[in-house]
Chain A
């Protein structure tokens, strides 16, 4: 018996076409603000308030100004150092914790896991005041340590890695145990290499999150030499509020590395987010 289809074949093709057209238009509208940002970044000061999408006389001058007249390279260097350090250390600590919580048996394991899990609901804004006081007490105000150390610890990464290790076959580690390897050796030379795919996805996500973070760096760095790009650009706004071309050139410089990272790793990034939902 033929299946009763809801649409006739010709109708179905039309429906599909309309469907695709709607998707494409919505997607283009979504991207418009980003194109607009890049467009203004290439405009001359005289043209920067005009409504045309394609600059009449595109110029690199705005980028050159931002990179030379403002310590923007310094901000980018700070952002890079902070994001890279946080990412590497966080991945090491989280994978160690995730491995232990998934594989090793020790008293209190479930309680520790629950305690870690419950911190998932605590977001930075609600503890910003006491966290500032803790970091100040530890003497880390206005320092790289203050930018980096508190950003390392978050339950999300531990949770995802633990889930991943639960799904790994046990046999590989057991073989290593029989060979007389210690737990560190097993972790380092068996477990870590096996977690390459998830570590790659988390590397990108962590780097992205730290490059884009604003509230914490804003709160603890008064010294301009320690500013990260997001703080630099927010301050830029109050200084050059009428110079749209400079503001958008700076924004483009800050956003572009992440957009490029995203285009290259879009499959990994989107897959890892897709699976992070509640299962």
Chain B
């Protein structure tokens, strides 16, 4: 067998294993710590989430099988539907705004020079501040009457606006803060994508007399497809899962006023850690996961498996 050949060519190995098997063993051992950790802290919770959804958990850690009761409760729970609506609205508002602002900023500072590198850093800076601090600062800025934003709006002739107190505005405020925090990040992702577009395309287009708008429409956008797909997918998953929304809403509005900013993850958290309804919370989380999987699948379908033809 090849094992013997290998052993002859490496006479220094005196252990019982062949080189091939030593490589196998090394591979498994190198992957083991991370694989085990991911299994325990990601894999098990994912499966557990589905399982707990069929149980009722009492305050002492006792489990009682209740079948579909949690899911039936969900169907009848107006607060669940409200949370689902708010989550959808948050994502529908945020994802396109992020796309446009991220791409817009990237185009604005695309040219590599010292001035632009400073400006890029300024756009990205909010992203290194924690969301708790971000939410706190924006909350103070939005306080009725004396917050700097409220003062600014009064000065502009629209007094008496309550940014975080008006159920019609609070979610918009949360979207604005999320946008402010995330746009620099997506600007960088878009800059990475723009970098990969060969300059020759633009030069050729310019020779053919194509203006800036045409160049953007016929070169930049089509060649940016993989990046656009990535941005849409990541931002959508993050928006629906509440990756940023949780921290911002927890600090700024706690889900209020009148549940107008209670996204699903906030409601799930309240149910689990406020009321101890772990089973119900897990059932709702399973629905959230199902929605995420479905959306990703649809996005993949629409983009033909996430593959893109390169010109």
A residues with CB within 8 A of B: 3-6, 19-20, 22-24, 26-28, 30-31, 33-34, 36-37, 40, 49, 51, 93-94, 96-97, 99-101, 104-107, 109, 112, 116, 119, 121-135, 149-150, 152-153, 155, 158, 180, 182-184, 187, 208, 211-212, 214-215, 218-219, 230, 233-234, 237, 244, 247-248, 251, 254-255, 258-259, 261-263, 266, 269-270, 273-279
Q: Are B125 and A259 in contact (CB under 8 A)?
A: yes
Q: Is B168 among interface residues, defined by CB-CB distance under 8 A?
A: no
Q: Are A96 and B42 in contact (CB under 8 A)?
A: no
Q: Which residues of B contact A49 (CB under 8 A)?
A: 146
When chains A and B are docked, how far (Å) is the Cα of A37 from the Cα of B185?
Answer: 21
Interface residues on B, range: 35 or more
When chains A and B are docked, how far (Å) is the Cα of A94 from the Cα of B32?
Answer: 10
Find B37's partner among A93, A218, A237, A261 (CB 8 Å cutoff).
A93
B residues with CB within 8 A of A: 10, 12, 22-24, 26-28, 30-31, 33-35, 37-38, 40-46, 48-49, 52, 105, 108-109, 115-116, 119-126, 128-134, 136-141, 146, 148, 151, 180, 184-185, 188-189, 191-193, 195-196, 206-207, 209, 211-212, 226-227, 229-231, 237-238, 241-243, 246-247, 250-251, 265, 268-269, 272-273, 278, 281-282, 285, 288-289, 292, 296, 306
- What is the predominant secondary structure among interface residues of chain B facing chain A? helix
Q: Which residues of A contact B52 (CB under 8 A)?
A: 129-130, 133
With A51-B151, A273-B188 already in contact, the answer to whether A23 and B119 are too (CB < 8 A) is: yes
When chains A and B are docked, how far (Å) is the Cα of A23 from the Cα of B129?
Answer: 21
* A105: nearest chain-B partner, CB-CB: B23
Q: Which residues of A contact B151 (CB under 8 A)?
A: 51
Q: Are A134 and B108 in contact (CB under 8 A)?
A: no
Q: Are A129 and B189 in contact (CB under 8 A)?
A: no
Find B243's partner among A124, A132, A219 (CB 8 Å cutoff).
A124
Q: Which residues of B contact A131 (CB under 8 A)?
A: 41, 45
* A33: nearest chain-B partner, CB-CB: B137
Q: Are A273 and B27 in contact (CB under 8 A)?
A: no
Find A211's partner among B130, B137, B206 (CB 8 Å cutoff).
B130
Q: Which residues of A contact B140 (CB under 8 A)?
A: 40, 244, 247-248
Q: Are A112 and B230 in contact (CB under 8 A)?
A: no
When chains A and B are docked, how far (Å) is the Cα of A45 from the Cα of B289?
Answer: 46
Find B265's partner among A125, A247, A263 (CB 8 Å cutoff).
A125
When chains A and B are docked, how far (Å) is the Cα of A83 from the Cα of B292?
Answer: 29
With A27-B123, A183-B23 already in contact, the answer to whether A129 and B30 are too (CB < 8 A) is: no
With A49-B146, A93-B34, A219-B273 already in contact, the answer to whether A106 and B23 are too (CB < 8 A) is: yes
Q: Are A127 and B42 in contact (CB under 8 A)?
A: yes
Q: Choose among B136, B180, B269 the residue with the greatest number of A CB atoms under 10 Å from its CB.
A: B136
Instruction: List 8 additional contacts besides A230-B130, A234-B136, A258-B128; criterion CB under 8 Å.
Output: A4-B206, A23-B115, A27-B123, A51-B148, A105-B23, A125-B241, A255-B133, A259-B129
Find A3's partner among B207, B226, B282, B292 (CB 8 Å cutoff).
B207
Query: 6 closest A-B pairs (Cβ-Cβ)?
Result: A106-B27, A100-B30, A212-B130, A278-B230, A274-B192, A153-B37
Q: Are B41 and A153 in contact (CB under 8 A)?
A: yes
Q: Which residues of A contact B24 (CB under 8 A)?
A: 105-107
With A30-B123, A96-B34 already in contact, the answer to whether A23 and B108 are too (CB < 8 A) is: yes
When chains A and B are docked, how far (Å) is the Cα of A5 from the Cα of B205?
Answer: 11
When chains A and B are docked, how far (Å) is the Cα of A119 from the Cα of B34?
Answer: 12
Q: Are A130 and B45 in contact (CB under 8 A)?
A: yes
Q: Are A109 and B27 in contact (CB under 8 A)?
A: yes
Q: Are A234 and B251 in contact (CB under 8 A)?
A: yes
